[in-house]
Amino acid sequence: MTSERCADAEALLLRPRIFREIELPNRIVVAPMCQYSAENGMPNNWHLVHLGSRAVGGAGLVFTEATAVSPEGRITPGDLGLWSDEHAHAMKPITDFISSHGSVPGIQLAHAGRRGARKKPWDGNLGLPKEEAWSLAAPTAIAFDEGWSTPEELSSDGLERIIEQFVLATKRAVLAGFKVLELHMAHGYLLHSFLSPLSNHRRDAFGGDVRKRAEFPLRIVAAVRSTWPQDLPLFVRLSAVDWMAGGLTIEDSIEISKIMKSFGVDLVDCSSGFNVPREKMPAGHPFQVPFAARIRREAEIPTGAVGFILDAKEAASILADGHADLVFVARGMLHNPYWARHAAAALGANPRWPTQYARSVRHFHDGAWQPTALGPGQIRTSA
């Protein structure tokens, strides 16, 4: 894929990007980030404020956290869900608010697989008590780690049931007003566990070489793509490598991405790891960007870069150098809901703020925030 260049390379981060019939106002994405704050899968005011504030903050695309297609597909009891029409109706005010502030609402659909039925991270991430837990599903009956529950190997009927759950959740995503849908095939959850030889030891049509291991995830892609409106984009998040000998490789992910493109996937969101404990994953720097670059170049499909992207100029250079088409920001967005507007200012642009905030707009000069001078008739208010 030819690298996209522009005279002012940094401006590319702030330019619109079209996928199918959806135009993102810029190329900054709020990455899906679990909040573990739902009850029985239902969104509440936390989700409205959390996601809505990132739209006010200027992100082009705002994703929900991983949203379970069934109660058994949750990581914890606090996960968002989309297994009933009531869930869809509860999400509609959130998508309406995101859209009203010029951002595009996106949803990530997921099934936790063998990594489910856990307590919330701040409660220790331990297994739920027996009376609260649910049965786990996986390609093979291998526990994620010592002390974790052993999942059930999915039968043919079980596979068909989960495909149907993704299809129904997709229909509800339309009802809820989402405009971009992403399938979670990373981080050791169900679909990633099929793709990886470390967790998929099946000897049937769903196990073996990389094409067979991809068979079940691809059936979900096909079913979702045929259900999701053709004018709306479909993304997939992959763990590009497993960071463990004998695991998923970047060459595998390139091959998988090529096939997914032929199935109608519009972008691959390139993460990595979390399918096995004690993996050898580096930390700190945006170490996953080379995966997005290789998949973009060799699979000839748009990609998203994600992982420790905190600096606006670094985010801009990732796009200007042709490594990815979108930048997914996670920790930076948790730290600062207005990351996108501040990034625009840092790149020399003049970000437009909501009129409600206009009297406190500040410009960024040489590392210091300085208040805008008041114009005639403007009233100085107390801090």
Per-residue confidence (pLDDT) for residue 91, from 0 to 100:
98
Per-residue confidence (pLDDT) for residue 36, from 0 to 100:
97
Q: Which helix (H) or strand (E) holds 223?
A: helix 215-227
Look at 85-89, 91-95, 210-214, 372-376 and tell me which has the smallest mean pLDDT: 372-376
- Give the model's confidence band at 336: pLDDT under 50 very low, under 70 low, under 90 confident, else very high: very high
Of the residues 36, 189, 338, 357, which is catalytic?
A: 189
Arithmetic mean of pLDDT, 202-213: 98
Residue 376 pLDDT > 60: no
Tell me which residue has tokens 């695991």. 247
Per-residue confidence (pLDDT) for residue 8, from 0 to 100:
59
Share of residues in the chain with pLDDT > 70 (%): 91
DSSP 103-129: -EEEEEEE--GGG-SB--GGGTSPBPP
Of 34, 240, 241, nearest to 125 by C-alpha is 34
- Give the model's confidence band at 357: pLDDT under 50 very low, under 70 low, under 90 confident, else very high: confident
Q: How many helices and strands (H and E) does the chain possess? A: 11, 15
pLDDT digits (tens, 9 = 90+) for 258-300: 999 999 999 999 999 999 998 988 876 789 999 999 999 999 9
Arithmetic mean of pLDDT, 219-241: 98
Arithmetic mean of pLDDT, 62-74: 98
Arithmetic mean of pLDDT, 117-124: 96
Alpha-carbon distance of 183 to 213, in angstroms, equals 16
Reported pTM = 0.92
CATH label, 9-371, candidates 3.40.50.10310, 1.20.900.10, 3.40.50.300, 3.20.20.70: 3.20.20.70
Residue 364 pLDDT > 60: no
β-pairing, 17-19 vs 22-24, is antiparallel
Arithmetic mean of pLDDT, 301-314: 94
Arithmetic mean of pLDDT, 108-124: 97
The answer to whether the CB of 215 falls within 8 A of the CB of 259 is no
β-pairing, 28-30 vs 80-81, is unpaired
Per-residue confidence (pLDDT) for residue 284, from 0 to 100:
67
375 vs 58, more confident:
58
Per-residue confidence (pLDDT) for residue 369, from 0 to 100:
46
- Give the model's confidence band at 380: pLDDT under 50 very low, under 70 low, under 90 confident, else very high: very low
Please, how many CA atoms are within 13 Å of residue 187, restricted to the half-sphere of its CB?
18
The answer to whether the CB of 50 falls within 8 A of the CB of 35 is yes
pLDDT digits (tens, 9 = 90+) for 312-332: 999 999 999 999 999 999 999
pLDDT digits (tens, 9 = 90+) for 86-109: 999 999 999 999 999 999 999 999
Residue 161 corresponds to which tokens in the numbers above?
């049931």
Per-residue confidence (pLDDT) for residue 358, from 0 to 100:
73
Arithmetic mean of pLDDT, 116-126: 96
Per-residue confidence (pLDDT) for residue 9, from 0 to 100:
59
Alpha-carbon distance of 294 to 306, in angstroms, equals 14
What angle in degrees, to the nearest 10, is found between the helix axes of 289-298 and 250-262? 50
Per-residue confidence (pLDDT) for residue 371, from 0 to 100:
46
189 is known as an active-site residue: yes
Q: How far apart are the first and last CA of the chain?
A: 51
Per-residue confidence (pLDDT) for residue 377, from 0 to 100:
36
Residue 4 pLDDT > 50: no
Per-residue confidence (pLDDT) for residue 354, from 0 to 100:
86
